[in-house]
Amino acid sequence: MKLIKVTLNFLLLNLSITAFAQKPTDFLVTINDSVYNVGDFERLYNKNIDIIADESQKDIDTYFNLYKTYKLRLQNAYALEIDKLAKIEQELKVYRTELAEKYFINEKELDRLVNEALNRADFEVKASHILINVDEFAQPADTLKAYNKAIDVRNEILKGLSFENAAVKYSDDLSAKTNNGNLGYFSVFKMVYPFESGAYNTKIGEISLPVRSNFGYHLIKVYNKRETPKIKNIAHILVETKDKNNAEAKKKIDDIYKRLTVGDTFYDVAFHFSEDIHTCDKGGDIGIYNEGSLNIDGISDVLYDLNFNDAYSKPFLSQYGWHIVAVTNIKDKPTKEELKANYLRKIKSDSRSKILEKDLITHLREMYHFTVNEKNINATVPLFQRQELMNQPTVESNEATEMILATYSDQKITTKNILDHIYSFPKQYAAVKTDELLIKKAFDFYSLRKLKETYNNNLESNFPEFAHNLNEFKEGLVLFELLEQNIWNESAKDTVALQNYYQNNKTTYLQPANFIGEVYVFNSKSDAKTYHKLLKKNYKVKEADFPMVYKYQGRFYMNDKRLPENLDFNSLGKNVVKHNNNYYVFYIRDKKDEHQSNYEEVKNQVLSDYQKQYEDKYNQDLINKAQIKVNQPVLDQLKTKYNKKTLN
């Protein structure tokens, strides 16, 4: 893909448009049976003018010749049906999907979500929650009942019931029975978006109002907020305990800690004394620590305070026994710029995407005048056969199944469409509790999909720039394939022609005199002479003992600008050379006089040069066979318009 894009830019050094005296629709040139207008030429010219390195190509006459060649090669590629190759169609399909993506997203809202996530990433939140379950597609009455229950629980806590006891008593999150609702510390993207927002927007020590997610309503209590720590690689030592009062285990961990304080390495101590059989043979290494990844009571707070390499903690007790943890390596946190691309991907795939999708639904429904018949949607519910769902039954077409549930643009959605959709994806809907919810969910999903399909299919007609970009990419693909098949590969296979080209152009491949070695530059003549003598005697010189101005090394040709002018190649390395108040010392490891390269030495360069000649001939043949008619007055107007600009 990257190579094709680069080649596309190169190939399109040919082309773009605005109006001057002429109009964009005025014809500029007819090539064979195709007519190309001013707009096509100007649009491509203006698009590429800033990346043209060769100033001569900015001249309209020169650029126009490139333009004609470009169009002839395109015609040739389409005549050979290169555009119909499976790999071209697949590559174009992938690119179109990527290009279309931004047209489905509210860019301002996406930017807001990205910046919000980047700001939240600076901190992590310690919180507990209580969940009151209610289905995402529940009826309004059930939703209100769950909300009111959450309010009642919150009021009970405000009157004195501890949040932890309330979590055990009321939370529908089963883990609350063991963790009292405690979620520990978490940062951005670790929770569903509504819950994350509820936690970040609640002050320390306070309890949120009910927060709605697809799981139900949450009450969130925030205990602390702290700066997100750096990335830490950690290791630990474990001494298992039978109970909290196990004195033998406590004595053992204290003895281990003393070994660390007198200088034993953490690796050695963990290797010999840790009772964690999974990590002891690795010196206790656990790897990179991510908040919440280790179910070890107290480890989060302990590690947070260890902020330099090789720092280790005092012994602390967890549900498994006594631990000592150490930080073996610390990396800086990623910058916001480094995080941005990753966050863009995450936002499009996590629950935040529903915000972007909601904007899209509203936009598309307005664009296509989407109208819903709620009565017919309700009448569809009895027609659904839940008992037959996994059997994927066939939906017959009749008066009942052809009820219109919605209309948009010049299309319609019927009961049959929705039932067919449900039976085609039974696993997607099997868990929905009621038939009413299932039909509503299926209708919303199917109607959005159809609206998006319609929108997607009309991108080229609704957005000219989208059509231009897609077409340019397609042209780049087919031209690249044309060049590869008909020029590069063909010329590379003709070994006889390559050998002949080399023989006819031998003088082009003369290799100038060159040497391999080091060049030392000094301000002081005495330093240079001393250094030169030591090198001649193969004495191991400490460069730090000599104040050099420069040191160069590698292969040098005699026209190298770093070297003094008019050097005597034959005597190089024998004496110190003075140039521009500096003194040069040469250490020669190998050198070659000017010589004629054989074919094997320069065959890559020969191939490149021959392919260029082959391509020029190919282009000229196309021009010779073509019927070209130029609208000279219009071309002259373009010259007047653009050649003046390039001069300025």
Q: What are phi and psi of 3, to 5 degrees?
A: -60, -40
Query: CA 421, CA 54: separation in Å to the nearest integer?
Result: 58
Q: Which amino acid is at 200?
A: Y
Handedness of CA 139, 142, 144, 147 (dihedral sign): negative
- For residues 430 and 389, the answer to whether their CB atoms sit within 8 Å is yes
Residue type for 326, please? A
CA distance 607 to 72: 24
Say what angle helices 336-349 and 353-367 make with each other, to 10 degrees: 60
What local confidence, expressed as pLDDT, does residue 511 receive? 87
At residue 203, the pLDDT reads 97
> What's the pTM value of the predicted model, to 2 decimals?
0.61
Nearest to 546 by CA among 588, 518, 517, 509: 518
Q: Tell me what pLDDT residue 4 has.
A: 42
For residues 589 and 572, give the distance between their C-alpha atoms in angstroms, rounded to a whole number: 11
Q: What is the pLDDT of residue 357?
A: 79
DSSP 8-state class, residue 12: T
Give CA–CA dist 461/282, Å, rounded.
Answer: 62
Q: Kind and range of the H or E element at 618? A: helix 599-625
Cα distance between residue 292 and residue 93, in whole Å: 41
Say how far apart CA 300 and CA 170 lie, in whole Å. Answer: 27
Q: What's the rounded Cα separation, in Å, for the pair 444 and 532?
A: 84
- Given a contact cutoff of 8 angstroms between Cβ atoms, the answer to whether 583 and 567 are in contact is no
Collapsing DSSP to helix, strand or coil, 79 comes out as: helix
Rounded to whole angstroms, the Cα distance separating 58 from 642 reads: 8
Per-residue pLDDT, 579: 93
Instruction: Using alpha carbons, list the distances in angstroms from residue 627 to 32, 323, 482, 513, 616.
Output: 5, 85, 21, 50, 19
Sheet holding 216-227, edge to edge: 182-186, 123-133, 216-227, 211-213
| 146 token code pair | 């769950």
Q: Is-contact 623 72, C-beta < 8 A? A: yes
Q: How many residues appear in the chain?
A: 648
The predicted pLDDT at position 57 comes to 62
State the Cα–Cα distance between residues 426 and 24, nearest whole angstrom: 54
> Rounded to whole angstroms, what are the CA distances from 63 to 15, 28, 68, 197, 637?
8, 13, 9, 56, 14
- Contacts of residue 149, Cβ cutoff 8 Å, sequence gap at least 6: 132, 170, 217
Helix, strand, coil: what percent of the chain each, to 5? 55, 20, 30
- Residue 325's closest CA among 338, 334, 337, 316? 316
φ/ψ of 599, rounded to 5, equals -60, -45
Cα–Cα distance measured from residue 588 to residue 417, given in angstroms and rounded to the nearest whole number? 82
Question: Which residue in 448, 416, 443 sits closest to 432, CA to CA?
Answer: 443
Question: According to DSSP H, which parts of 247-310 are helical?
Answer: 247-261, 266-273, 299-304
Query: Which residue shows structure tokens 């509503």?
Result: 440
Rounded CA-CA distance 215/132 in Å is 8
Alpha carbons 527 and 546: distance in angstroms, whole number: 7
3-state secondary structure of 582: strand
- The predicted pLDDT at position 1 comes to 41
| DSSP label of 230 | P
What confidence score (pLDDT) does residue 258 get? 96
- What's the pLDDT at 150? 97
Instruction: Please list, in sequence order, all residues whose beta carbon lies within 8 angstroms of the beta carbon of residue 334, skipping any fewer than 6 positions away.
Output: none
Give the pLDDT means over successive 10-residue stretches in the chain (648 positions).
Answer: 41 39 81 92 80 66 92 95 95 94 84 94 96 86 94 97 96 93 93 95 97 95 95 95 86 95 94 94 94 88 94 95 96 89 86 82 92 96 93 93 95 97 93 90 94 94 91 94 92 92 91 93 94 88 84 91 90 93 94 90 92 93 95 90 62
Strand partners, 321: 240
Closest CA to 320 of 235, 233, 246, 234: 246
Integer angstrom CA distances of residue 414 from 106, 402, 466 = 30, 5, 32
